[in-house]
Amino acid sequence: MIMRFLICGILLLSTYLHAAECTPAKTDFWLQEARRANANSNWTSARAAVAQLIQCHPLRGDLRIESLRLALLDGDRDAAQAERQWLAQNNVPPALARLVDTWLAATPKTLVKAGSRQELGLMLTRGYDSNANDGSRHDSILVNFNGLPLDWNLDTASQARASSYSALNLNWQHQGNRNWYLGGSARHYDKLAETEFRLYALLGQPLPCPKGLRCRLDASVNGHRQEEQQRIQTQLGITIGGEKQRFSTYARYNYEQSAADSHAIGMQWMHSLTPGFVVYTGLEYDRPQEPRAGDDRYSIHAGTRMRPWQNLPWELHLMYLREYEESPYSPAFWGNKRRDRRLTRFNTHYTWRMNKHLSLKASAGWRHTDSPIELYQQDGWSSELTLIGTL
């Protein structure tokens, strides 16, 4: 049933995602976006804008040449070769062919397969949390290709207690025809004398897809341990998308050492309004395999992340989530009240590029959790300074 649900969702949305917006106003908008990104040396955003123009005007050779040039600047030699092949098949003038071949010859081939990228990263973080007890990391699971999952680590000990913390994160990623993400992290809260450990792995495998769309199978495993809490989440999802939109559906199994195991299904839709402005929304249904407080859970969320100025490395993230539980949480203590919770979260960060391998990121965040049950009404704010090294 779950796989049928996934496949039906994909088929229903593929026609909508494939439709290109090619009005004169939209064409002029993407042309201006390409010029602006070019001026700021933002090759990835410029390529996305030119790709939109090519989708509207697939036979324009000048757009293909520009796409080839941007691909080389972005380090994507495989895409540049594909554009060169298109030009050859469509009788590019000899003078332009020689110019393009000069660009290709002047771009050195790397030891990594053309069109792929590998990165090894180490992050050292020092931060402060005004309420480290309210599950402050429930929204930062590193395997986050769907924007979920979210965890609510609240219990009778969840009174506001501030704590500074230190964190170490090591990760490796390979992006190409197939994407791999592997990593782990440790975070120690000084005043709570607790340490949190996470391990994660993600594989993104391309799938056959209608022309003009990209389809991918995502499989992930995420483990978490903090004091008595231990959790393992396995997730399988399918993602389809075009230049501006992406739709994902997934199924997940949650193993909890100190609580009921559960399985969930969900979906998320994302839309890029501009290269620096993305909105998303989604919903999820989680069902326990044995009785638990609140029984089945439903949630719906919406949010946005934006980069107001493309030439300024400052990002903003805003999310709102509603969670509903099927049954009263604990009738013996709170009668017929359900724990239905509402989360509002705001984060911002600014990154300084120190050199090719080192960056410094400053982050700040605020969150508020509301519930009919007073115990689960929580507030918190946090700040971080992270040193990021990449190879």
Give pLDDT tens digits for 30-48.
888 888 777 767 778 888 8
> Residue 288: how many CB atoms within 10 A of its CB?
20
Q: How far is CA 357 from CA 116, 123, 157, 263, 391, in A?
A: 19, 12, 42, 40, 6
CA–CA separation, 193 vs 1, rounded Å? Answer: 45
CA–CA separation, 28 vs 20, rounded Å? Answer: 14
Dihedral, 35, 38, 43, 48 alpha carbons, nearest 10: 0
Q: Determine what percent of the chain is predicted with pLDDT higher than 90.
A: 21
Average pLDDT over residues 154-180: 78
CA–CA separation, 310 vs 312, rounded Å? Answer: 6
CA–CA separation, 278 vs 270, rounded Å? Answer: 7
Q: Average pLDDT of the chain?
A: 80
> Residue 145: is its pLDDT beyond 80?
no
CA atoms in the 13 A half-sphere facing the CB of 376: 19
Q: Tell me what pLDDT residue 186 has.
A: 92
Kindly report the length of the chain. Answer: 391
Q: How far is CA 79 from CA 87, 111, 210, 258, 375, in A?
A: 13, 17, 19, 49, 54
CA–CA separation, 56 vs 272, rounded Å? Answer: 17
Q: Which two tokens stand for residue 310?
A: 């493309």
Q: What angle do CA 348, 144, 173 make, to 5 degrees?
A: 100
Show the 3-state SS of 33-88.
HHHHHHHCCCHHHHHHHHHHHHHHCCCCHHHHHHHHHHHHHCCCHHHHHHHHHHHH
Write down the residue that tokens 């994507």 correspond to. 76
The amino acid sitting at 236 is L
Q: Tell me what pLDDT residue 69 has.
A: 87
Q: Name residues whose C-beta falls within 8 Å of residue 89's C-beta, 6 or more positions apart in sequence.
A: none
Asked if 185 and 197 touch (Cβ cutoff 8 Å), the reply is yes
| Peptide bond preceding 308 in cis form (omega within 30 of 0) | no
Q: Tell me what pLDDT residue 107 has.
A: 65
The amino acid sitting at 165 is Y
The H or E element that residue 18 is part of is helix 2-18
> Residue 328: how many CB atoms within 10 A of its CB?
18
Q: Tell me what pLDDT residue 156 has.
A: 46
Give pLDDT tens digits for 59-105.
888 888 888 888 888 777 878 888 888 888 887 788 778 888 888 77
DSSP state of 109: P
The H or E element that residue 328 is part of is none
Helix (H, G, I), strand (E, B) or coil at 113: coil
Model confidence at 2, in pLDDT bands (50, 70, 90)?
very low
- The model's pTM is 0.66
Burial of 190-222, coded b for 16+ CB within 10 Å and e otherwise, reads eebebebebbbebebeeeeeeeebebbebebeb
Write down the residue that tokens 């993230």 correspond to. 317
Q: Name residues whose C-beta falls within 8 Å of residue 344's C-beta, 6 or more positions apart in sequence.
A: 319, 320, 367, 368, 370
Q: Tell me what pLDDT residue 334 has.
A: 79
